[in-house]
Amino acid sequence: MNRDFLSNFERSETKREAPVEDSEGSSAEQDVEFRDGDYIRNVCFVWPDGRRKFIPYGRLDSGEIDDEYETIRLTFGVEIVELTGVRLLPLFYSFMEHKRKIVYCDDPRYNELSDNGSIVNNIVIVQNT
pLDDT given at position 7: 53
List of E strands, the chain: 42-46, 52-56, 60-65, 71-76, 79-86, 102-104, 119-127
Pick from 83, 81, 84, 90: which is nearest to 118 by CA? 90
Question: Within its chain, how far is the Cα of 104 from the centroid?
Answer: 8
Contacts of 44 (CB under 8 A, 6+ apart): 52, 53, 54, 101, 102, 103
Distance CA 88, CA 49 (A): 22
Distance CA 19, CA 11 (A): 24
At residue 72's C-alpha, the angle toward residues 71 and 76, to 5°, is: 150
Report yes or no on whether pTM surpasses 0.85: no
Q: What is the pLDDT along the chain (129 residues), one digit of tens a residue?
A: 555 555 554 554 444 444 444 444 444 434 566 566 666 789 999 999 999 999 999 999 999 999 988 999 999 999 999 999 999 999 999 999 998 999 999 989 888 887 778 999 999 999 987
Domain spans of the chain? 30-127
Q: Regarding beta strands 102-104 and 42-46, do their DSSP bridges make them parallel or antiparallel, or are they unpaired? A: parallel
Helices (H), 27-96: 29-32, 89-96
